[in-house]
Copies of this chain bind each other. A is one copy, B any other.
């Protein structure tokens, strides 16, 4: 088996950290208790382990290819996608009225992780479809919804997000694609979009492009961007497929990783204009796009966790198998499996602790999302929404930045074999490298964290999280164990470092923006590090309790060790990050531009 879903870990988080039984008390989630979670996850594991994971290497070796505007995906992808669609996996979290299952995100996030662990390239297609669904659910007219939503939710068609243009990457103010209003209420869209994931492919009959464009006369900058649906094939009034729309895939990119996922250059309107349908109101495209992006950002964070998990599993398997050198403590006479060597253990523990920490963080974020949407109490919804929104850039930024380290360690554990492509460890290293870039680079996530999530409320949400962490420290300190005490100490130091950084950011952001944004990414990394460490600390408390009850002793001991490792080797990085934020801005901004 090339991938085994970490069901026990996932269910531990869903039960004890995300609190699935509380989620199941929210209106709309009555069926979504632990038993459902377990049943869904088991089925999901079976599907991904058996159908999707085996195609991962194939996708790297036989990437999608382009010919005369057509994209042919890796052999096997089309069939796997059909099974994905038939299994109802696309609709897991989407409303039942459009053919979905309406499950909470706390369950959906774990399924998202599995799909991405199995095959990052494959998983991108559903990930983008999810974004299109979110946008239509939020802002689409009833007419648009009725034509497109069910087809997307069932996975019969797929969706894309068309933001980037050659001159407009992170800066959407520079978008130039035009949308000319037509007498019949449609628009003629023309322009070039690049980096369009699954912008063209052969797995389904129709592709629903969500496209940012400007209507003539619209305000300059981001306030003049509108969102359009531009289907590959027009849809007739009776729901049957109509004419081919004027959107062409002119090429796909030759990339470092995720090679099976076609990254298209799309040309809209070269032959008279592609017919597009306005989503929501004119000039509110950026706002709607953010809804799609917030969903997509969380999902990309899950990709970071997913690729880390897969890299960890491969490294562990190799470390058990590879025999080299005697144990340093003289405990054996001959060469031993390298997993006994302390530095290999250190690398594996680092991979493991970061992966589990990020998963735990994402799991509680998902639970907050569920409460933010379904809680009957408005104040609780608001509080959960603020917590979730604070965590999205951490899930995206921290889980993906650390995935670069984790997949790199995965290569390192393999030694020279790691550098040979046939081994497979290098693929994870290459695939992961996009994660800190797309759906907003880490700097963009950090801008969001600084601006919308910290500055705007004067640091209140951040401080509220710190207060919760302090409570966890209190619980840890009451425990008798050395592990709990050690974790409490590290958590406290990291929390104080975080609070310093929060104060600095909240107080200086307006008066000294260059200083604050010089430390925005270290601030994000500090916050992510802390929140992940906090969730592992919570898992230690749970594990100690269950261990005392005699439940699954080996598993619980591993949870405790992992939390302790994270505290001693990862949380300890917090003060240096604090220094970068609070005391490091001068040297970031001091060098004359000509001197670089």
* Contact surface of A with B, Cβ cutoff 8 Å: 164, 167-171, 173-174, 194-195, 253-257, 316, 319-320, 323-325, 328-330, 335, 339-346, 348-349, 352, 404, 408, 411-412, 415-422, 426, 429-430, 433-434, 436-438, 441-443, 446, 513-515, 517-522, 554-555, 557-558, 561-562, 564-565, 567-569, 572-573, 575-576, 579-580, 583-596
Which one of B256, B330, B519 contacts A430 once the chains associate, using CB atoms below 8 Å?
B256
Query: Can you list the 9 inter-chain pairs with the closest CB atoms, starting with the nearest?
Result: A565-B587, A342-B518, A343-B443, A572-B576, A342-B517, A171-B324, A256-B426, A558-B595, A171-B325
Beta-carbon contact of B589 and A342 below 8 Å: yes
Interface centre among A164, A415, A430 (most CB of B within 10 A): A415
Which one of B253, B422, B572, B586 contacts A580 once the chains associate, using CB atoms below 8 Å?
B572
Given contacts A169-B324, A513-B329, A595-B554, contact A564 B590 (CB under 8 A): yes
Beta-carbon contact of A343 and B521 below 8 Å: yes
Interface centre among A330, A519, A580, A594 (most CB of B within 10 A): A580
Which residue from chain B places its CB closest to the CB of A592 in the assembled complex?
Answer: B554
Beta-carbon contact of A335 and B171 below 8 Å: yes
Output the least CB separation between A411 and chain B (Å): 6
Beta-carbon contact of B324 and A420 below 8 Å: no
Given contacts A433-B408, A592-B554, contact A569 B575 (CB under 8 A): no
Beta-carbon contact of B569 and A346 below 8 Å: no
Q: Once the chains are docked, how many angstroms separate the CA of A558 from the CA of B592? A: 8
* Residues of B with C-beta under 8 A to A416: 164, 169, 194-195, 437-438
* Residues of B with C-beta under 8 A to A576: 572-573, 575-576
Which one of B340, B561, B568 contacts A579 once the chains associate, using CB atoms below 8 Å?
B568
Q: Once the chains are docked, how many angstroms separate the CA of A441 from the CA of B174? A: 46
Output the least CB separation between A285 and chain B (Å): 18
Q: Once the chains are docked, how many angstroms separate the CA of A522 from the CA of B349? A: 14
Which one of B345, B429, B436, B514 contacts A329 once the chains associate, using CB atoms below 8 Å?
B514
Q: Once the chains are docked, how many angstroms separate the CA of A593 from the CA of B345? A: 9
Beta-carbon contact of A433 and B426 below 8 Å: yes
Beta-carbon contact of A591 and B438 below 8 Å: no
Query: Known contacts A341-B517, A348-B596, A573-B573; can you find 15 more A-B pairs with CB under 8 A?
Result: A170-B325, A171-B335, A174-B335, A254-B421, A255-B419, A343-B443, A343-B518, A346-B518, A349-B591, A408-B433, A411-B437, A412-B436, A565-B587, A565-B590, A572-B576
* Residues of B with C-beta under 8 A to A430: 256, 430
* Residues of B with C-beta under 8 A to A341: 443, 517
Interface centre among A173, A562, A587 (most CB of B within 10 A): A587
* Residues of B with C-beta under 8 A to A254: 420-422
* Residues of B with C-beta under 8 A to A514: 328-329, 342
Beta-carbon contact of A415 and B433 below 8 Å: no
Output the least CB separation between A81 and chain B (Å): 24
* Residues of B with C-beta under 8 A to A404: 408
* Residues of B with C-beta under 8 A to A587: 349, 561, 564-565, 567-569
Beta-carbon contact of B173 and A415 below 8 Å: no
A and B contact pairs by CB, cutoff 8 A, 13 listed:
A167-B323, A173-B335, A255-B420, A257-B419, A342-B517, A343-B446, A345-B518, A345-B588, A349-B591, A415-B437, A430-B430, A554-B592, A555-B595
Beta-carbon contact of B170 and A339 below 8 Å: no
Beta-carbon contact of B591 and A568 below 8 Å: no
Beta-carbon contact of A588 and B346 below 8 Å: yes
Beta-carbon contact of A558 and B446 below 8 Å: no
Beta-carbon contact of B418 and A174 below 8 Å: no
Given contacts A415-B170, A418-B437, contact A561 B591 (CB under 8 A): yes
Beta-carbon contact of A583 and B596 below 8 Å: no
Q: Once the chains are docked, how many angstroms separate the CA of A563 from the CA of B340? A: 40
* Residues of B with C-beta under 8 A to A443: 341, 343-344
Interface centre among A416, A554, A583 (most CB of B within 10 A): A416
Which residue from chain B places its CB closest to the CB of A512 in the assembled complex?
Answer: B329
Which residue from chain B places its CB closest to the CB of A571 in the assembled complex?
Answer: B576
Q: Once the chains are docked, how many angstroms separate the CA of A341 from the CA of B519? A: 12
Output the least CB separation between A135 and chain B (Å): 21
Beta-carbon contact of A429 and B557 below 8 Å: no
